[in-house]
Amino acid sequence: MQIKNLRWLSISVVVILLDQLTKFWAVSTLPFNQPVEILPVFNFYYAINQGAAFSFLSHKPELALWVFSSIAVVVSIGVIVWLTRISSDKK
């Protein structure tokens, strides 16, 4: 694996770890559905969103799971095919 790829992989791992640590902190520390004032104009607020961004499909979380999982699979396959074609063109 090239150094450039390792750098991106390590950045991805760090971002994922930070994301999971902050989620764990929020769940274990913040009260549910109550704002916690950080600054006069900035609050932390722990709530659960069963849908996507801005509660899109929150009324049907099982549909949201299938829709976004399908999108992720299609995009992943597209990226793999694209990267395979690029690498075969360079040979």
The dihedral sign for the CA sequence 20, 26, 32, 33: negative
The whole-model pTM stands at 0.53
Tell me the Cα Rg of the chain: 19
CA distance 55 to 75: 22
The tally of CA atoms less than 13 A away on the side-chain side of residue 65 is 4
Chain segment 37-81, per-residue pLDDT in tens: 999 999 988 988 777 777 788 788 788 889 889 999 999 999 999
What's the token pair of residue 83? 């990267």
